[in-house]
Amino acid sequence: MKKILTGLKPTGELTLGNYIGAIKQMQKLQDQYESYLFVADLHALTVPQDPNELRRRIKDFLALYIACGIDPKKNMIYLQSENEYIPAISWLLECSTYYGEASRMIQFKEKSKQHKNFSVGLLTYPVLMAADILYADIDFVPVGIDQKQHVELARDIAIRFNKVYGDTFVIPEPLISEVGIKIKDLKDPSKKMSKSEENPNGVIALLDDEKSIRKKIMGATTDSEMNVHFDEVNKPGISNLMNIYSALSNKTIEEIEKEFEGQNYGTFKKKIADIVVETLIPIQERYHELLNSDELDLILDEGITKSKEIAKNKYIEMKKKMGLER
Ligand code: TYM
């Protein structure tokens, strides 16, 4: 069976963008692949974090994954920081990564511009991501388009390592779903709906209550036409809402255009608000149930035991090949 793996960084609050871009994809794929899913908590440290907030979010994220339909029986679920072999593997890979490659990453360029002082971790983080993927011989990595470049870097590093030290890693491929590729901010559809966005009106958090979900969708930026038609360049707001509706209803864009032919934006938005609420309310109920039981700890204990076993074997293999032995 082929293997897939994906991770989410516990920063900000989980949004509808993460649900559609990553979690929902994993949920569909969990029946066809051997699946690994982890909370990328080490990745959160690239920017300063409040320890108590981080601790709370790690639990929140896990409970939300599972509440969203990630089945612990079909997925190996774990916390990245509990597997100490992964940063060790990352170091070995860092020494096979060029500075030029790492500093060309779009996310690094953007994020480093935003701060006067930023950590070295912001630069090396894609290598840690490569370690996350490569240690487990993963075939496919379901991610949103913003992470595609990082998965490609993982491929390049793996190919280089294999060439120098002999066959060690499976070469992974990014898996980008066609719908929901990039869910945009509802207020400013030129940028992605982001967990770390400061203006919450454009972002639907998975734990938002019904009233604010409806308010945010009804207040989404559209255009001056009255035509539910998909055109990401000229009608980014409407196209974004169509992507959301398509991902949650499993209807195609063409079907949606037909469904709303001749209808005004108000009717269209109300329908989207309905489906978002119908999707999120049961998820929130299951989330609260999970946080109040010991189910999460049991799932994590099982996941980390398996993950460590796999990573340890890969680490030993790498060290040997690189000459790190007595
Ligand atoms: P992160 O935590 O920023 O995002 C998690 C996943 O959600 C996707 N995503 C989106 N997809 C569609 N629309 C959006 N608005 C949107 N926002 C986020 C992201 O593409 C991603 O798939 N470095 C990664 C975490 C990570 C990882 C890994 C992923 C660490 N190691 C190994 C895969 C494999 C990150 O920061 O994602």
| CATH at residue 220 | 1.10.240.10
Residues 315, 230, single domain; the answer is no
Categorise residue 246: left if φ over 0, alpha if ψ from -120 to 50, beta otherwise.
alpha
Strand order in the sheet with 173-175: 75-79, 34-39, 3-8, 140-142, 173-175
Q: What is the pLDDT of residue 278?
A: 98
The pLDDT tens digits for 149-202 are 999 999 999 999 999 999 999 999 999 866 556 899 999 999 989 877 678 899
Residues 130, 245, single domain; the answer is no
Q: pLDDT band for position 26 (50/70/90)?
A: confident
Q: What is the pLDDT of residue 145?
A: 84
Ligand 1 and 132: CB distance under 6 A: yes
Which residue lies with its CA nearest to atom 36 of ligand 1? 9
Residues 73, 214, single domain; the answer is no
Domain that holds residue 90: 3-181+294-322
Mutate to test the pocket of ligand 1, among 5, 6, 18 (most ligand atoms within 8 A of CB): 18
Ligand 1 and 6: CB distance under 6 A: yes
Q: What is the pLDDT of residue 144?
A: 81
Q: What is the pLDDT of residue 179?
A: 52
Phi, psi for 105 (deg, rounded to 5): -60, 130
Q: What is the pLDDT of residue 197?
A: 67
Residues 220, 281, single domain; the answer is yes
Q: What is the pLDDT of residue 324?
A: 97
Residues 272, 311, single domain; the answer is no
Task: Round the average pLDDT of the chain to a whole number and report it.
Answer: 94
Structure tokens at 45: 């440290």
Residues 168, 219, single domain; the answer is no
Q: What is the pLDDT of residue 178?
A: 63
CA 169 – ligand 1 centroid, Å: 22
Residues 278, 301, single domain; the answer is no
Residues 313, 274, single domain; the answer is no
67 occurs within a structural domain: yes
Mean pLDDT of 279-306: 95
Residues 316, 253, single domain; the answer is no
195 occurs within a structural domain: no
Q: What is the pLDDT of residue 94?
A: 98
Residues 249, 315, single domain; the answer is no
Which residue out of 9, 184, 187, 195 is catalytically annotated?
195
Higher pLDDT, 143 or 188: 188
Distance of CA 200 to the CA centre of its chain: 19
In the chain, where does DSSP find H-type helix? 16-18, 24-29, 41-44, 51-67, 85-94, 99-103, 106-114, 120-134, 148-165, 210-218, 236-249, 253-259, 265-291, 295-322
Report the CATH number at residue 68.
Answer: 3.40.50.620
The percentage of residues in the chain with a pLDDT greater than 70, rounded to a whole number, is 98
Is 59 one of the annotated active-site residues of the chain?
no
Is 195 one of the annotated active-site residues of the chain?
yes
84 occurs within a structural domain: yes
Q: What is the pLDDT of residue 194?
A: 85
189 occurs within a structural domain: no
Q: Name the residue with tokens 């994809």.
A: 25
The domain tally of the chain equals 2
152 occurs within a structural domain: yes
Residues 310, 254, single domain; the answer is no
Ligand 1 and 273: CB distance under 6 A: no
73 occurs within a structural domain: yes
CA 226 – ligand 1 centroid, Å: 34
264 occurs within a structural domain: yes
The pLDDT tens digits for 200-209 are 899 999 999 9
Mutate to test the pocket of ligand 1, among 4, 8, 135 (most ligand atoms within 8 A of CB): 8
Handedness of CA 58, 60, 61, 65 (dihedral sign): positive
Q: What is the pLDDT of residue 143?
A: 87
Residues 236, 269, single domain; the answer is yes
190 occurs within a structural domain: no
Is 3 one of the annotated active-site residues of the chain?
no
Higher pLDDT, 165 or 226: 165
Which residue out of 9, 187, 192, 235 is catalytically annotated?
192
